[in-house]
Structure formats: structure tokens, C-alpha cells
């Protein structure tokens, strides 16, 4: 390779930008411009103070720098290719997989209730799942929201080195929690459902001890799915859930009549542990950094997660209050209300998987680059998508209920189900929008603002739920939750709009527009 050497005041100045090394010559050296070879330069200018060892070291620095530049360029190219797929096609594929998985999940719930009936056994099954669901919404969902941006901002080598200790450490903590919960389950059940009979409470304790084992699989799946999402591989985690849901349906169909409600509890465990086993290959076979010595990784994770834990434990555990209140109503009220809410939450999850999940790594990348105009444009477009999708989801659910009535399926409870869906339609209208707004805050590294706002709306929701149950029973409870979602949407949307507008004002050459302004025709 030929180089051009120019000497004036100093013989050679080769800047190795990554190392900061410089080569200099004595003052007063003459100006020369000549083409030389790397190996002959020390012999051409012996008076410039450049010896062979120094020049060789500088050349190695330069080669390492160029190698790093090529690696970073490759990473950027792969990232752009991954982001290029995060459009409508990927969203539709994710929504389809999620819809299939949730349809299978609904089939599992419906078949269990149809076989066993809406009574004490199914009430105990759903109440026994409370602890598992509590940790899923209070710990695992915030953890996933933190892990995806954390891993997205790292190179592939760093991701592989980080994921293994995270997976091992979190599953170990989950196993310890399972043992603790198995001991305190009787006390927890007596506080959770005081309206149950003694026999139903005893069955609830047994089913709780079974279902909480799924927490181990949920912890592993959270890390493994976040790793896949950070690599812009969104389909396999959703596909793993579909595969395991199919197996779970088969197990119930074969053995529910003979084994009973305990089989339904073990199937719930399999639905969380199975997908984790299917994704574990994503960790790779390479050795990782030591788990106990990786303090910066755990410190960064804790710093990001800490503001969310208290708020999530308070915000996302409203279903515990719902089960407490419904335990005082007629037998079967808890399972009907919970099934209705699972259907609504499933519809919201389909929207989130198709619209929000593929967006999070891109938002984190844009925020990291300070590209606030593109950040606002992307959020604005997806808000309009979700605003139109909510009413469509409501029409879909009501159409399914009408179709079930024509087939004479579960007619005894369909009228109650339809009423609860209408009263709780605010979940469909605002659930996906709230999820997008919260993840937009997380993508730019802000977790305190959404936590404070959600704590405020949850506190108001507790009062609304109490009044709703007193005024209208299950229907009043559903209407109170809808109102809570609406208040949360107003507060989160206003806060994010002000924050992004302020970012745009300080961003050079960026147009200032409100978050809900009509988005441009520029392709996303």
C-alpha cells in the first residue's frame, strides 16, 4: 500500500483516531511530498526520528482502527436491514402469530370452563394463577421493556455476552421465589379471596403451588425473547408460543376429563416453560463472561428497572383487587369476569405485538441518535393506527359473540360476557395507545414520568372500582376500568407530546409539530 508523506514543521503526522498516537519530526524539517512504501519510510527519512518499531506500532494501530470501522459498518448495515423489515409486513405477521396464539389460549380457557363448569373449581384455578400473573405484570413486563432497549444498543458480541448471565441469574431468582411462595401460599390465599369457602380455598392453595412453577419459565422466556427482539428477530418468540399452545390444547383435550382441574394447572406451567426451552438455542454455545463478576451489566439493568418496580407492582396489579371484589359476588363471577378480561387483553396484545413491539428497537435507536423528528413521526403514525384499530377490535369481539350465539355455544353466560365487553371497551380503545406511549418514554431513557402518571391513574381507578362494584356489580367494575384507561391515555399523551415538542425545538433543522398532528406522507 502506498502512502503520501508530507513534512513541514514535523516529518509525519499520522492520526490513529482510536488510539490517539502521533509521530513527529524535529522542528524545521523540510517540506517533502513523496510516494513511499510502509516498509521503506523509516529508511527514506532517517533524520525525522521515525524508527522501524514506532512506525510498525503506528501501522498496527491504523489497521486495528480500519478493522473496527469495517465491523461497525457491518453492524450498521445489518441494523438497517433489520429495521427495513419492521414495516407493515412484519407487523401483520406478528399480529397473525399473536392472534393464533391468543385464540389457542382462549380455546384452552373456554374448554376448561366448558368441561368443568363456571363454579368453585374454575374459580380456584383462576385465583391460583394470581401470583404467577402478579409477577408477570409487575416484574417480567417492565423487565422486558428495559431489556429490549438495553440489548438493542449493544453489538452482537456484547449481546451474547450479556444474555447468558442475565438468563441464568433471573431464572435462579425465580426458582427461589417459587420456594418462598409455596410456603406462604395459604396466608396469601386467605387474604386474596376471603369470600371463598374453606374447601375452595384449600384447592386454590394447591393449584397456586402448581402454577407458580411457571415463573421459572417466564423469567427465562423474558430474557430470551428480549434478546431475539434486540436482534430484530420477532417471529420466532411468537412462533414458540403458538407451538406450545397447540401442545397445551392437545394435552387438555386428552386428559382433562380424567385428571381434572390439576391438569389445567400443569398446562399453564407448560405454556411458560415450553417456549423458553425452544428459544434457549439463541444464547449460543460460546462461553460468556462470569455471572457474579459482571457488575456493570447488573448495575445498569438495576438502574433502569428500579424506577419501574414499585410503580409496576402498584399499577399493574389491579386484577388482584378485581378478584378480591368478585370473590364476594356469586360463584362463577370471578371466572366470567377474568375470562372477559383475558379476551380484551388478548386483543390489545395482538395490536401491541403487531404495531408496538417491532417499533421499540427503532425508537431506542432514533432516540440514541437524537433524531427526534423521525422519532415523533414514527410515534404519530402508530398512534393513528392504534386509534383506528381499537373500534375494529371491539366490532370483532362482538361479532364473535353473536356467531357463538347462533351456534348455541355457552348461551347461559354469553349475555353477561357481551355486557362486560361493552362496559370494558375502553381497554380496547386505549390499551394499545397507552402501551405505545409508555414504550416511547422508555425508548428515550425516561421511566419516572410514566410511572408517576400511572400511579396517579391507578389510585383513581381503585376508588372508581369500589364505587363501580357497589353501583353495578361486574358491569360497574368493567366501566370503572374503562374510565381508568381513558384517564391514563390523556395524561401520558399530554406528557409525551410536551416532551417531544421540547426536544424538537432544540433539534437543528427539525420541524416542530404536535404528536397528534397529521403525519406526513414520508415513508416510515
For residue 77, tell me if it sits in a domain. no
pLDDT at 248: 92
Q: What is the pLDDT of residues 213-242, one digit of tens each?
A: 999 999 999 989 888 888 878 788 888 999
Higher pLDDT, 370 or 182: 182
What number is the average pLDDT over the span 324-350?
81
Do 24 and 50 fall within a single domain? yes
Tell which of 282, 316, 350 closes a domain: 316
For residue 29, tell me if it sits in a domain. yes
pLDDT at 429: 92
Do 516 and 423 fall within a single domain? yes
State whether the Cα torsion 404-408-411-415 is positive or negative.
Answer: positive
Do 161 and 206 fall within a single domain? yes
Report how many domains make up the chain: 3
Check if the beta carbon of residue 178 is closer than 8 Å to that of residue 131. Answer: no
To which residue does cell 366448558 refer?
114
For residue 259, give the C-alpha cell.
Answer: 385428571
For residue 82, tell me if it sits in a domain. no
Check if the beta carbon of residue 265 is closer than 8 Å to that of residue 210. Answer: yes
Do 312 and 323 fall within a single domain? no
Do 234 and 274 fall within a single domain? yes
pLDDT at 455 over 50: yes
Do 208 and 240 fall within a single domain? yes
Size of the chain, expressed as the number of residues it contains: 524
pLDDT at 410: 59
Q: How confident is the model at residue 22 (pLDDT cuts 50, 70, 90)?
A: very low
| H runs (alpha helix) in 193-234 | 198-211, 214-230
Do 182 and 273 fall within a single domain? yes
d(CA 156, CA 54): 34
For residue 146, tell me if it sits in a domain. yes
- Cα separation values, 160 from 186, 282, 289, 333, 408, Å: 41, 9, 9, 47, 52
Q: How confident is the model at residue 520 (pLDDT cuts 50, 70, 90)?
A: very low
pLDDT at 352: 82
> For the chain, what is the radius of gyration of the CA atoms?
29
pLDDT at 23: 41
Q: What is the pLDDT of residues 234-277, one digit of tens each?
A: 788 888 999 999 999 999 999 888 888 999 999 999 998 999 99
> Residue 159, CB half-sphere, CA atoms under 13 Å: how many?
24
State whether the Cα torsion 171-213-109-464 is positive or negative.
Answer: negative
What number is the average pLDDT over the span 410-428?
81
Tell which of 285, 316, 347 closes a domain: 316
pLDDT at 64: 59
Q: What is the mean pLDDT of the chain?
A: 76
Check if the beta carbon of residue 105 is closer than 8 Å to that of residue 268. Answer: no
Do 402 and 502 fall within a single domain? yes
Domain coverage including residue 38:
2-69
- Cα separation values, 414 from 157, 405, 432, 444, 471, Å: 53, 7, 25, 44, 22
In terms of average pLDDT, the best of 40-54, 364-378, 473-487 is 473-487
Do 291 and 301 fall within a single domain? yes
Kind plus residue range of the DSSP H or E element containing 33: strand 33-37
Do 147 and 274 fall within a single domain? yes
Q: How confident is the model at residue 451 (pLDDT cuts 50, 70, 90)?
A: confident
For residue 74, tell me if it sits in a domain. no
For residue 57, tell me if it sits in a domain. yes
pLDDT at 367 over 70: yes
Do 369 and 288 fall within a single domain? no
pLDDT at 399: 85
Tell which of 293, 316, 339 closes a domain: 316
- Residue 316 backbone dihedrals phi, psi, to 5 degrees: -95, 15
pLDDT at 324: 84
d(CA 331, CA 118): 8
d(CA 256, CA 243): 20
What SS3 state is found at 440? Answer: helix
For residue 422, tell me if it sits in a domain. yes
Number of Cβ within 10 Å of residue 114's Cβ equals 12
What number is the average pLDDT over the span 116-125?
84
Contact partners, residue 458, CB within 8 Å, separation at least 6: 314, 315, 318, 484
For residue 80, tell me if it sits in a domain. no
Q: How confident is the model at residue 87 (pLDDT cuts 50, 70, 90)?
A: low
Check if the beta carbon of residue 376 is closer than 8 Å to that of residue 504. Answer: yes
In terms of average pLDDT, the best of 60-74, 81-95, 367-381 is 367-381
Do 50 and 101 fall within a single domain? no
What number is the average pLDDT over the span 42-67?
54
Higher pLDDT, 49 or 271: 271
Q: How confident is the model at residue 501 (pLDDT cuts 50, 70, 90)?
A: confident
Amino acid at each position: 500500500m502506498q502512502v503520501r508523506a508530507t513534512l513541514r514543521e514535523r516529518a509525519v503526522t499520522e492520526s490513529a483516531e482510536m488510539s490517539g498516537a502521533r509521530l513527529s519530526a524535529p522542528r524545521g524539517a523540510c517540506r517533502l511530498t513523496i510516494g513511499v512504501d510502509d516498509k521503506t519510510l523509516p529508511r527514506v527519512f532517517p533524520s525525522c526520528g521515525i524508527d522501524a518499531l514506532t512506525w510498525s506500532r503506528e501501522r498496527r494501530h491504523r489497521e486495528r482502527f480500519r478493522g473496527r470501522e469495517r465491523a461497525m459498518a457491518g453492524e450498521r448495515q445489518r441494523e438497517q436491514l433489520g429495521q427495513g423489515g419492521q414495516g407493515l409486513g412484519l407487523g401483520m405477521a406478528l399480529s397473525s402469530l399473536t392472534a393464533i396464539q391468543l385464540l389457542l389460549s382462549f380455546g384452552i380457557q373456554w374448554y376448561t370452563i366448558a368441561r368443568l363448569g363456571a363454579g368453585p373449581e374454575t374459580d380456584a384455578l383462576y385465583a391460583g394463577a394470581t401470583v404467577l400473573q402478579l409477577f408477570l405484570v409487575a416484574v417480567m413486563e417492565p423487565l422486558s421493556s428495559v431489556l429490549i432497549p438495553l440489548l438493542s444498543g449493544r453489538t452482537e458480541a456484547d449481546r451474547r455476552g450479556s444474555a447468558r448471565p442475565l438468563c441464568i441469574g433471573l431464572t435462579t431468582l425465580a426458582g427461589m421465589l417459587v420456594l418462598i411462595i409455596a410456603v406462604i401460599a395459604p396466608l396469601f390465599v386467605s387474604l386474596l379471596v376471603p369470600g371463598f369457602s374453606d374447601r375452595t380455598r384449600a384447592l386454590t392453595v394447591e393449584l397456586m403451588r402448581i402454577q407458580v412453577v411457571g415463573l421459572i419459565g417466564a423469567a427465562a422466556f423474558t430474557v430470551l425473547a428480549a434478546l431475539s427482539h434486540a436482534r430484530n428477530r420477532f417471529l420466532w418468540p411468537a412462533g414458540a408460543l403458538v407451538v406450545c399452545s397447540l401442545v397445551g390444547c392437545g394435552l387438555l383435550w386428552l386428559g382433562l376429563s380424567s385428571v381434572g382441574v390439576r391438569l389445567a394447572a400443569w398446562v399453564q406451567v407448560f405454556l411458560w416453560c415450553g417456549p423458553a426451552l425452544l428459544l434457549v438455542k439463541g444464547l449460543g454455545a460460546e462461553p460468556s463472561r462470569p455471572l457474579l463478576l459482571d457488575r456493570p451489566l447488573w448495575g445498569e439493568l438495576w438502574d433502569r428497572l428500579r424506577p419501574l418496580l414499585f410503580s409496576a407492582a402498584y399499577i399493574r396489579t389491579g386484577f388482584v383487587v378485581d378478584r378480591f371484589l368478585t370473590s364476594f359476588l356469586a360463584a362463577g363471577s370471578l371466572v366470567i369476569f377474568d375470562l372477559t378480561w383475558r379476551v380484551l387483553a388478548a386483543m390489545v396484545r395482538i395490536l401491541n405485538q403487531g404495531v408496538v413491539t417491532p417499533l421499540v428497537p427503532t425508537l431506542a435507536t432514533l432516540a440514541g441518535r437524537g433524531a427526534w423528528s423521525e422519532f415523533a413521526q414514527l410515534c404519530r403514525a402508530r398512534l393513528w393506527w392504534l386509534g383506528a384499530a381499537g373500534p375494529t377490535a371491539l366490532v370483532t369481539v362482538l361479532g364473535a359473540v353473536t356467531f357463538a350465539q347462533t351456534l348455541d355455544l355457552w348461551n347461559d353466560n354469553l349475555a353477561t360476557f357481551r355486557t362486560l365487553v361493552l362496559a370494558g371497551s375502553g381497554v380496547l380503545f386505549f390499551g394499545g395507545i397507552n402501551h405505545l406511549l409508555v414504550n416511547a418514554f422508555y425508548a428515550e431513557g425516561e421511566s419516572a414520568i410514566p410511572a408517576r402518571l400511572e400511579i396517579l391513574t391507578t389510585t383513581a381507578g381503585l376508588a372508581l372500582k369500589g364505587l363501580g362494584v357497589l353501583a353495578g356489580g361486574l358491569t360497574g367494575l368493567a366501566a370503572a376500568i374503562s374510565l381508568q384507561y381513558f384517564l391514563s391515555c390523556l395524561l401520558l399523551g399530554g406528557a409525551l407530546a410536551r416532551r417531544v415538542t421540547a426536544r424538537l425545538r432544540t433539534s437543528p433543522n427539525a420541524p416542530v409539530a404536535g404528536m397528534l398532528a397529521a403525519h406526513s406522507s414520508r415513508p416510515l
